[in-house]
Amino acid sequence: MSADDPEVAVRPDGVSSPVDGAAERANRTFWDADADDYQAFHGDALAAAPAAWGVWRIPEADLGLLGVVDDRDVLELGCGGAQFGTALAHRGARVVGLDLSVGQLRHAAARVTAAGVRLPLTCATGTALPFAAASFDLVFGDHGALSFCDPDRAVAECARVLRPGGRLVFSQLTPLSYLTWDTERLRQTRRLRHRWRDRWAFASEGGTTDAVWSHGAWIRTLRTHGLVVDDLIELLAPDGATSTFSDDVPHRWARRWPAEQIWVATKP
């Protein structure tokens, strides 16, 4: 597969990286190795605003994307330390947390135990969900599994496990945030530095391989698997907001251009 193929990005060292099983396994290895440092650096901030979206922790109460969660079966797809899922469990949701990383799930298990909620945890990929069809009323992820595996296969699985009327809600970085990232200086810039592709993967050196799809590609994939697109919210950083992720997404940049987006879709 060449660097001109639609699902390929090129590392600074010239190695092309498709979104495939090998990339998922590499992502698992990265998250297992990084889990302790990630939770040490970001975990308290995530727990302080658990039912919130993105690096700037915009409250779900302000956005209202998940709908009613009380007495609903909910899957958190890429739960990490389960901060968000634990908050929903406290609100009466029957939450299951899924993550590719055993390291992250260790933190999730400790948090669930400390919170005293029932929240089963599963280690699995988003492209092969170990659940029966029509098991959930809501599947959601805040920068979760849909960023780190093949979106087409993952959306198909989400559609399969959702009940009629169920909702899929997930956040991710925008294509613009990748297109303007300087891979040599490792910083966000105001210039387009990568060639536009409809479907590609961004492989950061020493980091993860992320799925980066255009809005059109996401719409086509969601529709192909029988989901109705309800909304696309492009997030700007609130005035005066702070974030433990600001080294990756500077506040000044994110006030001018959307670094994150949230998709909302329903299964008819």
- Range of 66's domain? 22-173+214-243+261-266
Give tens-digit pLDDT for 166-180: 999 999 999 999 999
Q: Do 78 and 104 contact (CB within 8 A), yes or no?
A: no
Q: Do 105 and 145 contact (CB within 8 A), yes or no?
A: no
- Our measurement of the distance from residue 51's CA atom to the centroid of its chain's CA atoms, rounded to an integer in Å, reads 14
Residue 195 lies in a domain: no
Residue 156 lies in a domain: yes
Task: Identify which of 202, 186, 206, 153 has the alpha carbon closest to the alpha carbon of residue 16.
Answer: 202
DSSP string for 114-173: HHT----EEE--TTS--S-TT-EEEEEEES-GGGSS-HHHHHHHHHHHEEEEEEEEEEEE
Give tens-digit pLDDT for 26-66: 999 999 999 999 999 999 999 999 999 999 999 999 999 99
Residue 75 lies in a domain: yes
pLDDT interval class at 21 (50, 70, 90): confident
As a whole number of angstroms, the distance between CA 123 and CA 132 comes to 16
Give tens-digit pLDDT for 242-258: 999 998 889 999 999 99
pLDDT at 9 over 80: no
Residue 9 lies in a domain: no
Q: What is the pLDDT of residue 2?
A: 35
Q: How far is CA 24 from CA 96, 147, 209, 229, in A?
A: 21, 10, 8, 26
Read off the tokens for 197: 């592709």
Beta bridge partners of 261: 172, 234
pLDDT at 193 over 60: yes
Give tens-digit pLDDT for 199-237: 989 988 889 999 999 999 999 999 999 999 999 999 999
As a whole number of angstroms, the distance between CA 132 and CA 125 comes to 15
Residue 199 lies in a domain: no
How many other CB atoms are there within 10 angstroms of residue 71's CB atom? Answer: 9
Q: How far is CA 166 from CA 2, 30, 226, 230, 231, in A?
A: 38, 32, 12, 12, 15
DSSP string for 1-40: --TTSTTEEE-TTS-EEESSHHHHHHHHHHHHHHHHHHHH
Give tens-digit pLDDT for 86-133: 999 999 999 999 999 999 999 999 999 999 999 999 999 999 999 999
Residue 218 lies in a domain: yes
Give tens-digit pLDDT for 136-188: 999 999 999 999 999 999 999 999 999 999 999 999 999 999 999 998 899 99
CATH at residue 132: 3.40.50.150
Residue 138 lies in a domain: yes
pLDDT at 6 over 80: no
Number of domains in the chain: 1
Residue 91 lies in a domain: yes
As a whole number of angstroms, the distance between CA 68 and CA 196 comes to 38
